Amino acid sequence: MGVVVIDGSTVRDFVNDESAFTKSVDEQFQSLDVNNDGVLSRAELRTAFESMRLIEAHFGIDVATPPEQLTLLYDSIFDKFDGDHSGAVDRGEFLQEMKTIMLAIADGLGEFPIRMVLEDDPTSLLQKAADREASKIN
Ligand SMILES: [Ca+2]
């Protein structure tokens, strides 16, 4: 677990830094693509969101959400990512949707820095946004 202090502009700057953001999303994609077939299956994407805990925290859904409700939630997330309804999420779809999610988080955070507890995940985009901001200051 690590604590980061983050605000909307930190996240937005990171998303707008296209090469850094794309590289980070690609790294995340690769770590999620467990069977290395170049696309994310429903199960692979679900694992991703379970580990991020972002959804529960951000959409205000309690951790004690019943499993069937979570499955519905993860299905709807998958459908959002799977833009062409091919049944799998490719690299481009993943990048596009992560961008949308990160910008929505940025809007949600606003301009007041908040402390956020992140699970240890070297591919966490929020962690990377915070690291990037910190490296600018130092
Ligand atoms: Ca895969």
Q: How many A from CA of 46 to the centre of ligand 1?
A: 12
pTM for the model stands at 0.80
The predicted-structure confidence for 3-56, as pLDDT tens digits, reads as follows 888 899 999 999 999 999 999 999 999 999 999 999 999 999 988 777 665 544
> How close is the Cα of 78 to the center of ligand 1, in Å?
13
Q: How close is the Cα of 133 to the center of ligand 1, in Å?
A: 32
Ligand 1 mean position, distance from CA 34 (Å): 6
In single-letter form, the type of residue at position 55 comes to I
Range of the domain at 95: 2-137
Calculate helix-pair angle for 42-52, 67-81, nearest 10 degrees: 110
Q: How many domains does the chain have?
A: 1
CATH code at position 74? 1.10.238.10
